[in-house]
Amino acid sequence: MDGVLVDNTPAQVRAFQLLFRDLGLTTNARKLLRRLNGMPATNILKTVFRHSVPEKQLKEYSSQREFLYRTLYWSQRREMPGLSTFLQAARAAGHPIGLGTSSPPETIAYILDHLNLRHFFDVVVGKEDVDKGKPHGDTFSVVAARLKAAPENCIVFEDAVLGEQAAYKAGMRCVAVASFMPAKAFQAPLTVIKDFTELTPEHLLELLDQQPAVPKPDKQRAQRNYMQLE
């Protein structure tokens, strides 16, 4: 959802940075999200402390960050260019569409319902629906199961490196949306787009035929060592 349906990552970065300032942390939020974007916020926050922080406290920090994000992004909410046109064309062609995100229900509603996008999706899977978020493949596997779709027939749209890895772990191919990360950061996407004006469902199927095998996850990109801050 974030960085794919909407170009909201700059607001997410700013919210994290303001939270870190409040907590007296010097972590660079932009560098942090370049590595960990796509993970649940509590998991991202775990990496910025040198000491162990209780889960309850992490959830409080996450709620504070969420409030900051919504305040910053309130008047900026708009869909990615070409999104509705692309989704309408995909539905008209008979393709089932699911949304898989690490966000909780209220954050999903903040975007989907405000922008009237929910009707495009046959299923919506969020943080509450899976035990393990990205970079694990559970989110996308649950989406596929609820769509009754074979993983090898699914295409994931992702703006995050860890999200791309989650797609491969789920046995799916991926289109990279370079709204925040540079194209070279991704491993082996079908294609890289800036927004949905650059793609049609028909072209997407052609790309799928050109990459018959699902890429294997890149251990360097997916493993914990990659996530550590410099």
The backbone region for 94, taken as left when phi is positive above 0, alpha when psi lies in -120 to 50, beta otherwise, is left
Query: Is residue 8 over pLDDT 90?
Result: yes
Query: Is residue 21 over pLDDT 60?
Result: yes
Tens of pLDDT, residues 141-158: 999 999 999 999 999 999
Q: What is the mean pLDDT of residues 82-90?
A: 98
Angle (CA) 150 153 157, round 5°: 115
The neighbouring-strand residues paired with 2 are: 6
Interior/surface letters 90-118, b for 16+ CB within 10 angstroms, e for the rest:
bbeeebbebbbbbbbeebbebbbeeeebe
Cα–Cα distance for residue pair 190/210, rounded to 1 Å: 8
Query: Is residue 192 over pLDDT 60?
Result: yes
Cα–Cα distance for residue pair 58/40, rounded to 1 Å: 11
| Architecture category of domain 83-218 in CATH | 3-Layer(aba) Sandwich (3.40)
pLDDT of residue 219: 79
Contacts of 122 (CB under 8 A, 6+ apart): 96, 97, 98, 146, 147
pLDDT of residue 227: 44
pLDDT of residue 222: 61
- SS in 3 state form for the chain? CECCCECCHHHHHHHHHHHHHHHCCCCCHHHHHHHHCCCCHHHHHHCCCCCCCCHHHHHHHHHHHHHHHHHHHHHHCCECCCHHHHHHHHHHCCCCCEEECCCCHHHHHHHHCCCCCHHHCCEEECHHHCCCCCCCCHHHHHHHHHHCCCHHHCEEEECCHHHHHHHHHCCCEEEEECCCCCHHHCCCCCCEECCHHHCCHHHHHHHHHHCCCCCCCCHHHHCHHHHCCC
What are the boundaries of each domain within the chain?
9-76, 83-218
Higher pLDDT, 135 or 117: 117
Angle (CA) 126 128 132, round 5°: 85
Query: Is residue 225 over pLDDT 80?
Result: no
